[in-house]
Amino acid sequence: MFESLFDVDVGASEAELRAAVERCERLKSQAAAAQARATALWAAKRRAAEQARGVPAARRGKGLASEVALARHDAPVLGNRHLGFATALVEEMPHTLAALECGALSEWRATLIVRESACLSVEHRRALDEELCGDVSRLAGWGNKRVEAEAKTIAARLDAAAIVERSEKAAADCAVTCRPAPNNMVYVTLRLPLTRGVGIYAACKRAADTTFDGRPRGQVMTDTVYERVTGRPADTPVPVALNLVMADTTLAGDDDELGWLDGYGPVPAGFCRTLIGNADDAEAEAEVKATLRRLYRHPTSGQLVAMESRARIFPKGLGMLLQRRDRTCRTPYCDAPIRHHDHATPDRQGGPTSALNGLGECEACNYAKEAPGWTVTTGDVDGAHTADFETPTGAVYRSTAPPLPGPPVRRRLSLLEGRLSIDLVTFDAA
């Protein structure tokens, strides 16, 4: 039955194919509604089981959000959103759930409604739910912005004070994030109060409107941000540390394998060599300090197995090895930056402080796996460091550390193959 449901007839007409696309969209909405029901029921059963075992109310449900995210093959940090979405729909917003089930809403549009009503009391939330989604025919043709705007309007009318309070609390949720962009560029995103954000944009726009030196408008604006944040001209090195890992053969020009830049990801060989050359030139001018550190990868898996370290305290060197080996949080599907160097088998249970038992993890994932029923088992499969995360429901998710950059590994007389880590540290000439 399922095969025929998802089969696509190559001889179908355009009208039939359009109908198939619409049918699949309805199925996605129906699946999202069923997933929400299953998630809410799972949470209710977990709470009941923990209550029966005498678990304190404050600790009930700990780790469940991460389980939900793993089951959805999603980053654990999104688990709370998925869990909250499901609970709100099933327990407080039946009309929105019904609109999702019949395909009048997509999962994202239903999420927008839940998000905009989150600050309301249960009574007001149900009133918004009925007014907005009680008649699903009203939703026909509405896009994401229309759904979000209508939900905001109703919420503000029902409880303006709650909206104001949420805005005030949001100021404490400011953040700066960085993620890769194509062509060796990055996106640096600031989340900050409206007035400040508008002020920053206005200052950049004013700089672009009054600068006539041949630079493109966008470059003037980004250079302005850089100069005002760092206090240095855009073409001057800034005091930061860049951890670049590349093969020694790539540095020598024998191959063009990709390197790896911490906080960014894979970078072309030419960019690596240019970065090293610029650092070398800057060091000669007393603007930059560049150091080399040898890393060793396994001849079969290509993973990091040892490293040269100038640190005399073992935990510091081991922490750096975990940072280089794991790159990002080792929990499956989580790409968050590493914040904790953790024991897979806890120290209190006799777990050794070693590279095999060590994991680089983000803060949230480290705390989540401390919940009852979670176990993490590490291993070595042909030189590949693996970590199996077992959840309280018995599901097992495997994480394997990535290999070091460089050409394909070759069997050598030695069991270890050298690679270079280039640490670029700039500092004030003074």
Out of 167-176, 193-202, 336-345, least confident range:
167-176
The pLDDT tens digits for 237-293 are 555 556 777 777 777 677 778 887 776 778 787 777 777 666 555 555 555 555 666
**Parallel/antiparallel/unpaired status of strands 241-246 and 417-426:** antiparallel
Question: How is residue 9 annotated by DSSP?
Answer: -
Distance CA 106, CA 65 (A): 22
**Could you tell me how far CA 23 lies from the centroid of its own chain?**
31
Residue 287 near residue 426 (C-beta atoms within 8 A):
yes
The pLDDT tens digits for 390-422 are 999 999 999 999 887 777 655 444 444 455 554
The pLDDT tens digits for 138-178 are 999 999 999 999 999 999 999 988 877 877 777 677 888 88
pLDDT band, residue 137 (cuts 50/70/90): very high
Distance CA 329, CA 145 (A): 33
**Parallel/antiparallel/unpaired status of strands 241-246 and 288-297:** unpaired
- Report the C-alpha dihedral over residues 348, 352, 356, 362, rounded to 10 degrees: 40
The residue among 191, 185, 235 whose CA lies nearest residue 215 is 235
Distance CA 382, CA 315 (A): 25
